[in-house]
Amino acid sequence: MKERLSPNESVLEFERFIVSEYLRYGSVDEILRANRFKNLGVSYPGIYHILKRWGVVRSLGRASLPLTETLEFLVRAIEGKIPIQTLYRRMPPSFQPTLATVHRVYNETKKLFKQEVEIQERKVRRVGTALILTPSWDSREILVARDISPARGDVGKPYGSLSLPMGFSKRGEGEKAILRVLQQEVFTDKLLESPTEFNKKAIELIDGSEPFMFIDIADVRVAVYHLALPRELSSPDSFSSFKLKGFKFVDVEELLQTGEGILLRQGMREIAQGYKEYRASLAEESEPQPFYIDSLFNQRVALLVAEEGV
């Protein structure tokens, strides 16, 4: 028989369950929906108090307008020389934009890309954070995994795609955004095992981190950070997540040479190339300045829209 838990142990196990469900589903509403709205014995504010007590950096909600899903659709239509209406009929029921919306966004997109604006002045609706995690003894090895969270065409994330740990952020979050990604996409089990110990180690690891590059993927500007993991956090069994599976370290060159048959999340190759250039700059200067690149996705949209004309 299972040993009877003390009251304190019972509370701890219950809170661990709530935190685990939150990390699995990403919102309180989804926790209740997944548990069929049965009485969990805790209120909305109670769940938020538990998350705060465990030091969980809360997730960010999804923006309502699937703008970049529409943009990706348009790229596929133009690259394949397929009429928009023909391709639209082939899309699965989960594709949200209406045909009228696709045409409207296409026409507006052509106008926007015709404008001569500086990169820094581009309007970015959302921001994100991506992590290059390497073992402390080999900065060429990058941690990647398969993304098994629900597919999101609006940010170039097919189901099962090879991905870096990354997620949405708020402007100005900085180190808090990094902690969110570590909790949700890299070290979930360690957070659940001992939140105080894990958060302390994570904050020490993050301390003073600054992005080494920025990349625009559709309407999301992603800040990319490099963290060198200590040996005790670098073994395969250290990594866990409800969103990523099959963690492994791959050489940056191997990532750059990945064939077309490998399903990659949008921006992966560009970030790998940016990291390679960042490593090279470290040999020349002690504090290289962060730099900006445009994703190949955005470059294709700009080029294809320009070629189509107004």
3-state SS, 192-242, equals: HHCHHHHHHHHHHHHCCCCCCEEEEECCEEEEEEEEEECHHHCCHHHCECC
CA 157 vs CA 18, 85, 99, 149, 244: distances in Å: 27, 24, 22, 9, 12
SS3 assignment, position 140: coil
Min mean pLDDT across 52-56, 154-158, 236-240 is at: 154-158
Tell me which residue of 277, 232, 225, 268 sits closest to 250, measured CA to CA.
268
Most distant CA pair in the chain, distance: 73
Q: Are strands 141-147 and 244-251 parallel, antiparallel or unpaired?
A: antiparallel
Percent of the chain at pLDDT exceeding 70: 75
Q: Is the pLDDT of residue 105 over 80?
A: no
Q: Lowest mean pLDDT: which of 18-27, 59-68, 78-87, 102-111? A: 59-68
> Has residue 118 got a pLDDT over 50?
no
Which of 78 and 22 is assigned the larger pLDDT? Answer: 22
pTM above the 0.95 mark?
no
Helices and strands in the chain: count of H runs, count of E runs: 12, 8
Do residues 132 and 225 make contact, with C-beta atoms less than 8 angstroms apart?
A: yes
The highest-confidence range among 26-35, 142-151, 269-278, by mean pLDDT, is 269-278
- pLDDT value for 31: 86
Question: 126-292 in CATH: which number?
Answer: 3.90.79.10
User: Cα–Cα distances in Å, from 198 out to 8, 182, 192, 222, 280?
Assistant: 20, 10, 9, 25, 32
